[in-house]
């Protein structure tokens, strides 16, 4: 939910900028300020049927002009099972609370969330139960053109509950992709010594782990679906993600883990309203969504607003891998701006001044050395005569865009 509110904030800012440009009426600077701000506790709490350290996120609403939400720190958080068993949570990092012991929600039992803030305010949720588990049938990729006419890769999900009891679904995903350094060169240029009148430069081996890297993202929107109007409790071809063909995520090899939550009708209603709010197209719409009421209240003040929902969901997940050439080989692909950068000595510069510029360029960590005519593979490498050629760091070192260690789940 924290990610959702960040998305809302930046979406609003972009809308304001767009309106100003379109109307050509923003002659004076326009400062966005929040009026009638309310400091409201925000709770993101989903307990699942997975045996793990469950996690609950607490934060505060933030003003339109602020950078983001503040974490709610120092709270006492508990999940109570059947009014008798308590699972306590500890704050693992600001605003993130993890259960001390691993546990899983079980069918036929009632669960209740209890929170006491560092200021002594108490909050409690309705009692909720675990819906039945329904497994994802399949996750699959397809080359598609989206509603904006952009070609790329769509990720789709099919699921089916023959009992007809699931009906309400929510989807999240984690995506990981491989990055190949486009202008790899096996040596880096360094300053080996510094004298009164000049620098001396040399080459050192560039780490091999800068050739191939991996980066990951998590979904930051709300994708829900329900089957209540269908004859069967079946979802077919629901798009959970779309990646344009020219996006770096599908430049080489891509993986996505899709998580399917079966949730209650009440939880579905909450997320449906939240989704509509976050996808509002106009800041100045005449229809305002108002406050989103969840199932958590303040025990100290019944009129206090609390934003969030305590949800108990059953989860199914599935991962797939996709090679770009299997689906998008005929489409334009991602390309970094990798123009060669040459530092040229000014005729009026002393040599030491020029060398200092090269040294500062190297120390900036924004570039990587790349001779204007690097040798072909297998060709002997000689120390270049011209030292001042570079490319942007990401073009010669993939750790500018990701990490060099492959995730444990990665399969080539």
Q: What is the pLDDT of residue 247?
A: 97
Q: Is 100 helix (H, G, I), strand (E, B) or coil?
A: coil
112-149, pLDDT tens digit by residue?
999 999 999 999 999 999 999 999 999 999 999 999 99
Over range 379-400, report the average pLDDT: 77
Same domain, 196 and 337: yes
Among 395, 388, 320, CA closest to 354: 388
Pairing of strands 128-129, 110-116: antiparallel
pTM of the entire predicted model: 0.82
The answer to whether residue 33 sits within a structural domain is yes
Angle at 196 between CA 348 and CA 190, to 5 degrees: 85
- Higher-confidence position of 143 and 192: 143
pLDDT at 166 over 90: yes
Same domain, 193 and 110: no
The answer to whether residue 26 sits within a structural domain is yes
The answer to whether residue 83 sits within a structural domain is yes
Average pLDDT along the chain: 85
pLDDT at 327 over 90: yes
243-281, pLDDT tens digit by residue?
999 999 999 999 999 999 999 999 999 999 888 776 544
The DSSP line for 109-159 is -EEEEEEE-TTS-EEEEPPEEPPPP--EEEEEEEEEE-TTS-EEEEEEEEE
Same domain, 93 and 15: yes
- Higher-confidence position of 375 and 367: 367
Burial class (CB in 10 A: 0-12, 13-18, 19+), 18: exposed
Domain count of the chain?
A: 2
The answer to whether residue 408 sits within a structural domain is no
Which residues does 151 contact at the CB level (< 8 Å), separation at least 6?
143, 144, 145, 244, 245, 328, 331
Same domain, 192 and 115: no
Same domain, 23 and 113: yes
- Higher-confidence position of 79 and 352: 79
pLDDT at 3 over 70: no
Same domain, 19 and 103: yes
The answer to whether residue 359 sits within a structural domain is yes
Identify the band that residue 201 occupies on the pLDDT scale cut at 50, 70 and 90: confident
Q: Is 198 helix (H, G, I), strand (E, B) or coil?
A: coil
Q: What is the pLDDT of residue 293?
A: 84
The answer to whether residue 1 sits within a structural domain is yes
Distance of CA 396 to the CA centre of its chain: 25
The answer to whether residue 288 sits within a structural domain is no
Q: Tally the residues of the chain.
A: 412
Q: Give the structural domain span for 70.
A: 1-125
Q: What is the pLDDT of residue 66?
A: 63
346-363, pLDDT tens digit by residue?
888 888 888 888 889 899
Q: What is the CATH number of the domain that holds 30?
A: 2.60.40
Same domain, 344 and 195: yes
Identify the band that residue 24 occupies on the pLDDT scale cut at 50, 70 and 90: very low
Burial class (CB in 10 A: 0-12, 13-18, 19+), 369: buried
Of 80, 108, 125, which marks where a domain is finished? 125
Same domain, 44 and 193: no
Q: What is the pLDDT of residue 309?
A: 93
Q: Is 52 helix (H, G, I), strand (E, B) or coil?
A: strand
Out of 93-102, 206-215, 269-278, which region has the weakest mean confidence (pLDDT)?
Answer: 269-278
């Amino acid at each position: 939910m924290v990610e959702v509110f960040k998305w809302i904030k930046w979406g609003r800012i972009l809308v304001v900028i767009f309106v100003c440009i379109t109307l050509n009426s923003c002659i004076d600077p326009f400062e966005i300020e929040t009026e009638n701000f309310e400091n409201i506790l925000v709770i993101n709490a989903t307990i699942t049927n997975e045996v793990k350290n469950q996690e609950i996120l607490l934060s505060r609403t933030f003003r339109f002009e602020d950078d983001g939400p503040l974490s709610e720190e120092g709270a006492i958080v508990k999940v109570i099972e059947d009014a008798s068993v308590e699972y306590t949570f500890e704050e693992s990092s600001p605003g993130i609370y993890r259960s001390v012991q691993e546990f899983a929600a079980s069918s036929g039992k009632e669960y209740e969330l209890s929170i006491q803030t560092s200021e002594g305010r108490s909050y409690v949720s309705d009692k909720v139960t675990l819906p039945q588990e329904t497994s994802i049938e399949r996750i699959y990729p397809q080359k598609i053109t989206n509603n904006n006419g952009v070609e790329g890769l769509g990720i789709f999900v099919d699921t089916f509950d023959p009992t007809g009891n699931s009906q309400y679904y929510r989807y999240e995903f984690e995506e990981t992709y491989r990055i190949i350094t486009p202008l790899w060169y096996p040596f880096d240029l360094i300053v080996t010594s510094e004298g009164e009148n000049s620098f001396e430069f040399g080459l050192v081996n560039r780490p091999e782990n800068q050739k191939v890297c991996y980066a990951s993202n998590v979904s930051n929107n709300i994708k829900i679906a329900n089957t209540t109007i269908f004859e069967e409790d079946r979802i077919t071809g629901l798009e959970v993600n779309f990646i344009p063909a020219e996006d770096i995520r599908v430049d080489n090899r891509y993986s996505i883990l899709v998580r399917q939550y079966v949730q209650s009708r009440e939880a579905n209603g909450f997320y449906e309203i939240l989704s509509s709010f976050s996808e509002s197209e106009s800041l100045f719409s005449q229809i305002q969504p108002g406050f989103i009421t969840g199932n958590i209240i303040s025990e100290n003040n019944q009129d206090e607003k609390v934003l969030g929902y305590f949800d108990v969901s059953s989860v199914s997940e599935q991962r797939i891998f996709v090679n770009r050439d299997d689906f998008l080989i005929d489409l334009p692909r991602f390309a970094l701006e990798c123009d060669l950068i040459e530092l040229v000595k000014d005729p009026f510069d002393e040599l030491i001044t020029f060398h200092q510029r090269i040294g500062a360029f190297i120390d900036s960590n924004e570039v990587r050395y790349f001779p204007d005519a690097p040798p072909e593979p297998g060709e002997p490498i000689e120390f270049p005569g011209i030292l001042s050629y570079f490319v942007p760091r990401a073009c010669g070192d993939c750790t500018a865009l990701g990490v060099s260690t492959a995730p444990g789940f990665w399969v080539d």
